[in-house]
Structure formats: C-alpha cells, structure tokens
C-alpha cells in the first residue's frame, strides 16, 4: 500500500509541476534516470543528493536553452525597442518625486538620488546577466526539486526501494 501511495503521490506531483512549469519539471527525472544509468555502467550508484543536483542542473540547462532559443528568435530591432522603452521609463521615473515616507525614513535621499549619475551601460548589462543567472538558478532549483521529489516517489512506488539507496546497489549486484 505505501508503494502505491508513493507512486500516486509522485505522479500527481509531476503532473501538477509539469502544468505549472510548462513541462520543465519532467526533465529532472529524465536527467536523473540517464545519470543513474551512466553511474551504474561505471559500477556506482547515483546517490539521492547527486540525483537532486542532476535534476536541478537538467532543468537549469533546459531553461537556458529555451531562453536562448527565444532570444535568438526575437528580431534585433525588437531588442533595441525594448531598450529604448526601458530608458524612457527610467527617465520618466527619475522625474517623479519619491514618496513622502522615503524622505521621512532617509532625509536627503531624494536629493542624493536626483544628483546620482546615470548607470553605465556596461553595469546595466552585467546586472541583467546576473539577474538572468539568478532567475535560471532559482527556477531550476525549484522545478528541479519538484521533479526530483516526484521522481523519487515514482521510483519508490515502482521498484519498492528508494532510488540511490545503497540497498539498490546490492540488489543490482545480486541480479547481475
């Protein structure tokens, strides 16, 4: 009965995760399965923690590839227009007076912000790259964790043992 419950819970977790992540969650168990087969061919076992790293890394790689494909498909002119709109919004926001509560909390911050030099394009690009890397890491870790958990539950439900357990290695050695 626990195996059936684990299988059902794992499939439900993967289904809900796949819906929310547009299928990215399903890549984690696939990556874990491939890495497990590679480790088994080397005479080793893919541990649970290694499985989590592989699952999260697989999702991160998929997010990077998908993002790169989308970025490559967007015309260059569109990227230029996005930059112009962002610059216009920054200029408009700089003209707006800050909220009154900000002056109460940090007196003089309004004048200091108005006198600050504009951000350099190089720094803007560096912050954009860092932001993308952070977002990919956060989403990859989140979706990878959901996929890892679902894969672990499905693995337990299907095989009767937790994937990556040392008991699994001894069972495989016995059957070989």
Predicted local confidence at residue 34, as pLDDT: 95
Mean pLDDT rounded to a whole number for the chain: 87
Asked if pLDDT for residue 24 goes beyond 80, the answer is yes
Predicted local confidence at residue 91, as pLDDT: 75
What confidence category does residue 116 fall into, taking pLDDT thresholds of 50, 70 and 90?
A: confident
Asked if 36 contacts 163 with a C-beta cutoff of 8 angstroms, the reply is yes
Stronger pLDDT, 159 or 94, i.e. the higher one: 159
Element (H, E) at 10: helix 2-21
Domain that holds residue 18: 2-175
Identify which of 157, 128, 139, 115 has the alpha carbon closest to the alpha carbon of residue 56: 139
Q: Which long-range contacts (CB under 8 A, 24 or more apart) does 16-19 make?
A: 17/143, 17/146, 17/147, 17/150
Could you tell me the pTM of the whole model? 0.77
| Number of domains, the chain | 1
d(CA 147, CA 143): 6
Give 58-113 pLDDT, tens digit per residue: 999 999 999 999 989 988 888 788 878 887 887 777 777 777 787 788 887 777 77
d(CA 115, CA 112): 5
Q: Which of helix, strand or coil describes residue 115?
A: helix
Give 54-72 pLDDT, tens digit per residue: 999 999 999 999 999 998 9
């Amino acid at each position: 009965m626990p195996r059936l419950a684990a299988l059902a819970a794992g499939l439900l977790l993967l289904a809900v995760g796949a819906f929310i992540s547009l299928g990215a969650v399903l890549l984690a168990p696939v990556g874990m399965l491939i890495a497990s087969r590679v480790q088994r061919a080397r005479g080793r076992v893919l541990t649970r923690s290694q499985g989590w790293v592989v699952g999260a890394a697989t999702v991160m790689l998929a997010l990077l590839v998908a993002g790169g494909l989308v970025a490559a498909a967007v015309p260059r002119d569109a990227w230029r227009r996005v930059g112009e709109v962002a610059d216009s919004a920054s200029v408009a926001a700089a003209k707006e007076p800050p909220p009154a509560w900000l002056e109460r909390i940090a007196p003089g911050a309004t004048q200091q912000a108005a006198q600050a030099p504009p951000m350099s394009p190089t720094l803007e690009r560096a912050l954009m790259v860092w932001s993308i890397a952070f977002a990919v890491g956060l989403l990859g870790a989140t979706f990878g964790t959901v996929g890892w958990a679902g894969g672990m539950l499905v693995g337990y439900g299907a095989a009767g043992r937790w994937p990556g357990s040392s008991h699994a290695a001894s069972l495989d050695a016995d059957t070989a």
